[in-house]
């Protein structure tokens, strides 16, 4: 089309050209009748010459014109002059969103100033049944007065609707038309790219991409070509925006991640839900400092009782305080495992702080006699050994929960951490519990943490005793679910274990529906039952209730891996490793996931990180077979084959009949190229009870064995 600048269409004088797109060229024009300037969009000839398409377009344009919202550019009219069909619209001057986003992202104030009205406009249109279908920075304008305006609302839908309706063809054209790669594909939803049926939720996906870009300055999905970009959108899990910027609150990260779910069913189902969350976020955000969060290690309390038989009680109280403090967003708490192990090497606060990378340490003691208990606690700053807070409690035994709550609250006060109402509630005991049942529960947890078949079984007896005393105490039901699940997973694949875990997890949730631990326990059971979708819902709920719950991320990662959802598995293993940096399991399994994804560089990096973590762990626990066999695989991964095989041999010596040890040693030998020995160990593992065919088939460590006759025969025998 030749330039129309200076020409007159009816009572519109064309002043200059301001843009062009799939729906035609756009001009700034003067409406000589109403004495106002408008945006005038001339429709493509192929649309204007097709009567059916034109009639349908006019009907749809009239519907869009009915939108009356300050954040949506208004369509004034659909007109025809001398065979030219055009739209007249509100003229908006200002900057596009693409012009406004700086390198590194917008400030949070600027972000919300745009994100909230943008979501409001989207919700208003969706309420009228109108989708955008081409939401991108070029279609969002911000005026000099700060007013957000969405351009071309619904026009992409009109373009598609007036075609044959073949969504696959539309997607194909989008990939081949010059100029659309930078403007359309980066903001398309997976269902649009695959040519599947679409609805308003594709706008929500595009909104997630915009929000991510506004916060970080970069889109979540990238590629050097249209094909690699499409692959990224379809397969990659976006990185957390909170990882990119320390001042971004985790609530906003969750909002963006929910928008970017591949499955439309897992996104926000209505734009108004997104609008509400974005509107509420500025007032609900917990304080987010650019500096690192405050940090604390809670050490096991010393047993000062005359009989020295209260280790379970001392450790249990400390563990409960750890669990409570871990629910505070702006507080980093060393895990139970790390804190309890470090005291075996040193009690010096400075050295503990250095080993655990924390700035404060809580220590104390318990003296229990009859129905009386004395608990002393003190919080010390590790840099100068300054006492930040201390207290001694002389109470009746049934007051132990109140004492734990007071200790947690005083630590938070001493560290000057501000609690949200939700966090204040989370760190307190919510239900009355019989203290005798609580003692049995602590005995069970003490046994559970030892992690052997015998201690799991003895722990179950303790949990049973707790429930007999107090049937409404949810925690021991969750303890039974976890113990039975891990017995099934590592030692005994009996239906009885799985059935007991399923029943106990249901009961725990019934008694404590807001407990993230109960939801995580339920997720593990459901994953073992291969009820994957239900398991995902349970894990997602647990993470929503407590984003720092290690078990939810770790077992969600295992569940995803078993289903060959490797990108999702990688995400959750990464999150588990972030939540608990000293854990060697998640980082070790992550290396295998990356091998399965074909990313050898990331896998090797995980191997290096795993070796570092495991060496520190073995310094405190030299006979930990799981650390040895996972470490052996990591050593093979970084080229230290001889040392890796030594660790593997030592793990087998500790327990030569343990199916989990044998399985993982098989992985080590497979990666070392010792294929016959690898199959020997794999066969022994299966004979000793390892029964997860899916796990073997999806484990990247066994790639060298895939075509081996003995491997194929073993897999066939497991059908």
Please identify every residue annotated as catalytic.
134
Alpha-carbon dihedral sign for residues 536, 542, 545, 549: negative
Helix (H), strand (E) at residue 19: strand 12-21
- Residue 98, Ramachandran bin (φ over 0: left; ψ between -120 and 50: alpha; else beta): alpha
Candidates 716, 649, 668, 661; CA nearest to 690 is: 661
Answer whether 418's CB lies under 8 Å from 400's CB. Answer: no
Cα separations (Å) of 551 from 228, 450, 463, 586, 613? Answer: 34, 16, 20, 10, 18
Question: How many degrees, rounded to 5, is the angle at CA 492 between CA 489 and CA 496?
Answer: 100
Q: At what angle do helices 532-545 and 516-528 cross, to 10 degrees?
A: 160
CB hemisphere CA count around 236 (13 angstroms): 15
Helical H segments across 513-599, by residue range: 516-528, 532-545, 550-562, 566-579, 584-596
Tell whether the torsion through CA atoms of 418, 421, 426 and 429 is positive or negative.
positive
Buried b / exposed e over 147-175, threshold 16 CB at 10 Å, is: ebbbbbbbbbbbbbebeeeebeebbeebb
CA-to-CA dists, residue 289 to 229, 286, 294, 683, angstroms: 34, 10, 10, 53
* CA atoms within a 13 Å half-sphere pointing along the CA-CB vector of 382: 22
Q: Contact, 711 vs 682, CB < 8 A? A: yes
Measured in whole angstroms, the distance separating CA 231 from the mean position of its chain's CA atoms is 21
Q: How far apart are CA 301 and CA 373, in angstroms?
A: 13
Packing angle between helix 659-671 and helix 641-654, nearest 10 degrees? 170
* Packing angle, helices 516-528 and 495-511, rounded to 10: 150
- The helix or strand, by DSSP H or E, that contains position 620, with its residue range, turns out to be helix 600-620
End-to-end CA, the chain: 66
Q: Write phi, then psi, for 67 (nearest 5 degrees).
A: -65, 130
Q: Is the separation of the CB atoms in 212 and 241 below 8 Å?
A: yes
> Residue holding tokens 């025969």?
713
DSSP 72: B
The helices-and-strands tally (H runs, E runs) of the chain is 34, 15
Q: Are 27 and 4 in contact (CB under 8 A)?
A: yes
Q: What's the rounded Cα separation, in Å, for the pair 344 and 361? A: 15
Among 260, 242, 243, 259, CA closest to 251: 242
Strand partners, 389: 379
Residue pair 262/190 in contact by the 8 Å Cβ criterion: yes
Containing 40, the helix (H) or strand (E) segment is strand 36-42
């Amino acid at each position: 089309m030749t330039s129309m600048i200076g020409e007159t269409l009816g009572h519109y004088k064309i002043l200059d050209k301001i843009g062009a797109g799939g729906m035609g060229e756009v001009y700034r024009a003067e409406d000589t009748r109403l004495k106002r300037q408008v945006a005038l969009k001339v429709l493509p000839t192929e649309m204007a010459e097709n009567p059916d398409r034109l009639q349908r377009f006019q009907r749809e344009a009239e519907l869009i014109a009915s939108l009356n919202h300050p954040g949506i550019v208004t369509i004034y009219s659909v007109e025809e002059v001398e065979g030219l069909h055009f739209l007249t619209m509100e003229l908006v001057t200002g900057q596009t969103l693409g012009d406004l986003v700086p390198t590194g992202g917008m400030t949070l104030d600027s972000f919300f100033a745009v994100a909230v009205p943008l979501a409001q406009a989207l919700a208003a249109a969706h309420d009228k049944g109108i989708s955008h279908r081409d939401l991108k920075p070029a279609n969002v304008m911000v005026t000099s007065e700060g007013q957000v305006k969405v351009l071309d609302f619904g026009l992409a839908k009109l373009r598609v609707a007036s075609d044959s309706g073949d969504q696959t063809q539309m997607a194909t054209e989008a990939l081949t038309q010059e100029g659309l790669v930078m403007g359309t594909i980066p903001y398309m939803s997976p269902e649009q790219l695959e040519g599947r049926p679409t609805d308003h939720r594709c706008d929500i996906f595009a909104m997630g991409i915009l929000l991510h870009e506004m916060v970080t300055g970069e889109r979540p999905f990238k590629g050097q070509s249209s094909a690699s970009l499409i692959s990224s959108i379809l397969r990659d899990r976006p990185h957390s925006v909170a990882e990119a910027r320390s001042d971004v609150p985790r609530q906003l990260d969750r909002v963006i991640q929910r928008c970017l779910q591949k499955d439309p069913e897992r996104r926000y189902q209505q734009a108004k839900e997104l609008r509400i969350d974005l509107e509420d976020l500025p007032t609900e955000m917990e304080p987010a400092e650019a500096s690192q969060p405050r940090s604390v290690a809670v050490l096991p309390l010393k047993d000062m009782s005359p009989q020295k038989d209260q280790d379970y009680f001392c450790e249990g109280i400390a563990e409960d305080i750890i669990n409570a403090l871990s629910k505070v967003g702006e507080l980093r708490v060393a895990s139970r495992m790390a804190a309890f192990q470090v005291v075996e090497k040193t009690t010096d606060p400075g050295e503990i702080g250095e080993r655990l990378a924390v700035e404060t340490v809580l220590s104390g003691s318990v003296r229990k006699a009859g129905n009386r208990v004395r608990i002393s606690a003190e919080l010390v700053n590790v840099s100068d050994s300054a006492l930040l807070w201390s207290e001694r409690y002389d109470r009746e035994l049934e007051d132990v929960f109140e004492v734990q709550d007071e200790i947690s609250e005083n630590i938070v006060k001493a560290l000057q951490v501000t609690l949200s109402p939700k966090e204040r509630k989370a760190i307190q005991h919510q239900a009355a519990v019989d203290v005798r049942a609580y003692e049995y529960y602590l005995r069970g947890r003490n046994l559970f943490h030892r992690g052997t078949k015998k201690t799991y079984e003895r722990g179950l007896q303790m949990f049973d005793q707790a429930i007999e005393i107090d049937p409404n105490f949810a925690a021991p039901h969750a303890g039974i679910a976890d113990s039975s699940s891990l017995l099934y997973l590592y030692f005994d694949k009996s239906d009885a274990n799985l059935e007991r875990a399923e029943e106990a997890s249901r009961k725990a949730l019934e008694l404590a529906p807001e407990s993230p631990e109960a939801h995580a326990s339920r997720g593990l059971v459901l994953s073992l039952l291969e009820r994957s979708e239900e398991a995902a819902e349970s894990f997602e709920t647990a993470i929503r209730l407590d984003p720092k719950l290690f078990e939810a991320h770790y077992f969600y990662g295992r569940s995803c891996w078993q289903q060959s959802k490797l990108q999702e598995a990688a995400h959750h293993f990464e999150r588990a490793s972030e939540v608990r940096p000293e854990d060697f399991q998640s980082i070790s399994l992550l290396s295998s996931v990356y091998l399965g994804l074909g990313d050898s560089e990331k896998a090797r990096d995980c191997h290096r990180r795993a070796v570092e973590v495991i060496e520190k762990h073995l310094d405190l626990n030299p006979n930990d077979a799981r650390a040895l066999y996972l470490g052996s695989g990591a050593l093979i991964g970084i080229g230290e084959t001889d040392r890796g095989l030594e660790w593997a041999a030592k793990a087998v010596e500790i327990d030569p009949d343990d199916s989990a040890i044998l399985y993982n040693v098989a992985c080590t030998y497979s990666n070392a190229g010792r294929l016959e020995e690898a199959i020997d160990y794999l066969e022994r593992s299966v004979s000793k009870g390892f029964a997860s065919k899916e796990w073997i088939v999806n484990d990247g460590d066994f790639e060298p064995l895939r075509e081996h006759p003995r491997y194929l025969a073993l897999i066939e025998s497991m059908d």
